[in-house]
Structure formats: structure tokens, C-alpha cells
């Protein structure tokens, strides 16, 4: 018995901030932001638990189950509502269920970590039959809106997946790593705003993601040519293009939402997944790579047979 994703749901806050809006009060332009990042607009004003609950509710509905069928809630986030309790407890509360729950913080790579952790839990003795894995972040609350180096990139959003035991679908390979010595290139202290050395993060991300996808593919006994769908962390379209060039994967195989969402951190891989599903790209047997990177510096990739 393996595990499939039975339903995907998303949530984005209502308020849209366009590049033109940002250019009103900082020295930047729509043209520069689009050319350097691929981002056109982002959603702001989100609360992590609210977006996560909405995405979870949508995923449960899509999976054709009810909240009582969920046996564990895993939330990947680096922007919890409070220091404690874990924000996942409030998602369980909102769903009206009393199963186990936990938060995972791997910053922007969180969904890949969460998926692999959930998969392992479900296959362990007595593990849950059905789990919610959610990626949700509200980084707009931690952006310095006068810093053009970061304000142009981040937005709020959430995506959720219902994982269930099934003969369809399997985790084929995985690769995770951190370089803790790179903390200084991207961090956010308590009660403060995001600090980032953009160019350095960019360079490191391209290298780390390329190597990570290669490692996960090798484990799966596959090559880049076997990949049908890439669900990359949505940070910058040029990072995605650079990784695809290095791996010789056509950009057409990637599914991207960043033009309209910006970088939603842990929300970005499941948001890209929902877009891929919408495009009809996720069929039984499809080989999918989810790959993320971010603060830590942490990265992670999973190769999945849909």
C-alpha cells in the first residue's frame, strides 16, 4: 500500500498589491520587478491559520471526504499565528476535529518536508490513514515595505493536500539538506522584518535545488528526462529557469503561479500543484518533482508518482 494525494485546496487573501502600487512609494517599476523576478502582483493581509483552514477545507471537499476522516494535521509554516500553541491545533479546531497535529518550520521548503514526513508517518505501524498536509505563510506581515530588495517578492497564501492510503501514488525519492552557516543571508528575528541578501540567496538556491533534484532522482532510479511535472518553490522565475537549464528540463514542464502570488513561502509548492491540477497535468502515473529552498538555508525535493 502506498499513498496518493486525493484532494488539493488553496486560499489567497483578497487584497491585491500590484507592482504599480509598490512603485508609488519606492524606487522601482513594474518593468524591473517583472523582468528580474517574474512577479506582477501579490496578495497581502493574510492570517496563517485562516488561510490554512480555508485551503484545508477546500482540499477535504475535493478529496470527497469529511473533516472527521482526517487523522492528523501537519502545517508547514514559518509564520505561525503565535509562538504557541502550534497553529495546526487551530486548524484542527476550525475543522471540528481532535486528531494529532503539528507545525513544521522549514521556511519556503516546508511543503516538501511536510509531505515526506506525512508519508513516513502514514506508513509506520498504527500511522494515520488520512492526513492533511498544508503549506501556509503570511510573510507580508514581516516585510519592510520601504525595502525594495524584499517588498517586491513576498506575498501571502496557502495550499493544502489530503494524503490517503491507496495503491495509486507513491514517494519514489527524496533529498533534504540545510546549510545553517548561511543563516545570515535570509532571516527574520522576533518582532522584526525580513533581512535578505537577494543575489546571494539566488546563487545558492540555483546550486542547491539543482543538486537536490538530482539526488532525489538518483534515489528514485530516474533521470531528469523522466520528469513530467515540476512544482518548484515560487520565489523567482529566473531561479526556476536557471535550474531547468542546468537539469535540461523544458520550462513547459514547470507550473508557476508567482506572477499573481509572489513568493508565498510554504504556500507556494501546493499553490503550484493546484495550478498543475487545474491544467490537467496531474494524472495517475505522472512523475512529479516538488522542490523548495529558503531560509536556513534549507532545501528539499521529493519525486512522486501521482
CB of 32 to ligand UT7, least distance (A): 4
Task: Give the residue nearest to ligand UT7 (CB).
Answer: 198
C-beta of 162 vs 266, nearer to ligand UT7? 266
* 5 interacts with ligand UT7 by CB under 6 A: no
| Binding track, positions 16-55, relative to ligand UT7; x by CB under 6 A | ------------x---x---xx------------------
Choice among 58, 78, 108, 256 that is catalytic: 108
C-beta of 87 vs 268, nearer to ligand UT7? 268
**Stretch of 61-69, 196-204, 249-257, 277-285 lying at the interface with ligand UT7 (CB under 6 A):** 196-204
Choice among 233, 236, 256, 260 that is catalytic: 233
Segment 202 to 231, residues that bind ligand UT7, using CB under 6 A:
202, 205
* 145 interacts with ligand UT7 by CB under 6 A: no
Pick one of 11, 77, 236, 261: the residue that binds ligand UT7 (CB under 6 A): 236
Q: Which of 114, 148, 146 has the alpha carbon at shortest distance from 131?
A: 114
b/e for 189-212, b at 16 or more Cβ within 10 A? eeeebbbbebeebbebbbebbbbb
233 is catalytic: yes
CB of 298 to ligand UT7, least distance (A): 10
C-beta of 51 vs 269, nearer to ligand UT7? 269
Segment 154 to 183, residues that bind ligand UT7, using CB under 6 A:
none
**Stretch of 73-81, 127-135, 192-200, 214-222 lying at the interface with ligand UT7 (CB under 6 A):** 192-200
Segment 54 to 93, residues that bind ligand UT7, using CB under 6 A:
none
What are the φ/ψ torsions at residue 115 (nearest 5 degrees)?
-60, -50
* 108 interacts with ligand UT7 by CB under 6 A: yes
Question: Residue count at the site for ligand UT7 (CB under 6 A)?
Answer: 19
Other beta carbons less than 10 A from residue 3's beta carbon: 24
* 266 interacts with ligand UT7 by CB under 6 A: no
DSSP codes, the chain: -EEEEEEEEEE--SEEEEHHHHHTTSS--HHHHHHHH---EEEE---HHHHHHHHHHHHHHHTT--GGG--EEEEE-SS-SSSSS-HHHHHHHHHT---EEEEE--GGGHHHHHHHHHHHHHHSTT--SEEEEEEEEEGGGG--TT-HHHHTTB-EEEEEEEEEEESS-EEEEEEEEE-GGGGGGEE--TTS--EE-HHHHHHHHHHHHHHHHHHHHHHHT--GGG--EEEE--S-HHHHHHHHHHHT--GGGB---HHHH-B-GGGHHHHHHHHHHHTT---TT-EEEEEEEETTTEEEEEEEE-
Measured CA to CA, the distance from residue 233 to residue 112 in angstroms comes to 10
**Stretch of 148-156, 213-221, 250-258, 281-289 lying at the interface with ligand UT7 (CB under 6 A):** 148-156
99 is catalytic: no
What are the φ/ψ torsions at residue 182 (nearest 5 degrees)?
-100, 15
Pick one of 66, 199, 223, 279: the residue that binds ligand UT7 (CB under 6 A): 199
* 235 interacts with ligand UT7 by CB under 6 A: yes
- Contact residues toward ligand UT7 (CB under 6 A) are 28, 32, 36-37, 108, 148-149, 152-153, 196, 198-199, 201-202, 205, 235-236, 263, 294
Amino acid at each position: 500500500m502506498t499513498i496518493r494525494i486525493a484532494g488539493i485546496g488553496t486560499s489567497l487573501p483578497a487584497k491585491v498589491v500590484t507592482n504599480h502600487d509598490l512603485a508609488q512609494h519606492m524606487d522601482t517599476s513594474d518593468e524591473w520587478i517583472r523582468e528580474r523576478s517574474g512577479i506582477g502582483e501579490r496578495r497581502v493581509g493574510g492570517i496563517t491559520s485562516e488561510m490554512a483552514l480555508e485551503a484545508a477545507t477546500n482540499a477535504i471537499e475535493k478529496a470527497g471526504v469529511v473533516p472527521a476522516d482526517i487523522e492528523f494535521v501537519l502545517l508547514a509554516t514559518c509564520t505561525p499565528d503565535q509562538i504557541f500553541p502550534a497553529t495546526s491545533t487551530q486548524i484542527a479546531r476550525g475543522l471540528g476535529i481532535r486528531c494529532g497535529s503539528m507545525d513544521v518550520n522549514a521556511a519556503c521548503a516546508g511543503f516538501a518536508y511536510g509531505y515526506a514526513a506525512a508519508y513516513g508517518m502514514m506508513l509506520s505501524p498504527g500511522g494515520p490513514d488520512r492526513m492533511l498536509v498544508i503549506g501556509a505563510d503570511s510573510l507580508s506581515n514581516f516585510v519592510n515595505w520601504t525595502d525594495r530588495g524584499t517588498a517586491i517578492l513576498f506575498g501571502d497564501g496557502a495550499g493544502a493536500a489530503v494524503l490517503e492510503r491507496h495503491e495509486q501514488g507513491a514517494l519514489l525519492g527524496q533529498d533534504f539538506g540545510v546549510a545553517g552557516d548561511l543563516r545570515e543571508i535570509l532571516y527574520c528575528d522576533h518582532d522584526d522584518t525580513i533581512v535578505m541578501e537577494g543575489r546571494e540567496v539566488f546563487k545558492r538556491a540555483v546550486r542547491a535545488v539543482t543538486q537536490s533534484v538530482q539526488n532525489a532522482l538518483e534515489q528514485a532510479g530516474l533521470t531528469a528526462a523522466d520528469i513530467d511535472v515540476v512544482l518548484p518553490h515560487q520565489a523567482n522565475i529566473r531561479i526556476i529557469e536557471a535550474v531547468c537549464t542546468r537539469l535540461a528540463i523544458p520550462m513547459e514542464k514547470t507550473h508557476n503561479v508567482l506572477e499573481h502570488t509572489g513568493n508565498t513561502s510554504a504556500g507556494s509548492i501546493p499553490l503550484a500543484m493546484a495550478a498543475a491540477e487545474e491544467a490537467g497535468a496531474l494524472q495517475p502515473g505522472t512523475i512529479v518533482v516538488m522542490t523548495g529552498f529558503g531560509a536556513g538555508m534549507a532545501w528539499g525535493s521529493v519525486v512522486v508518482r501521482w
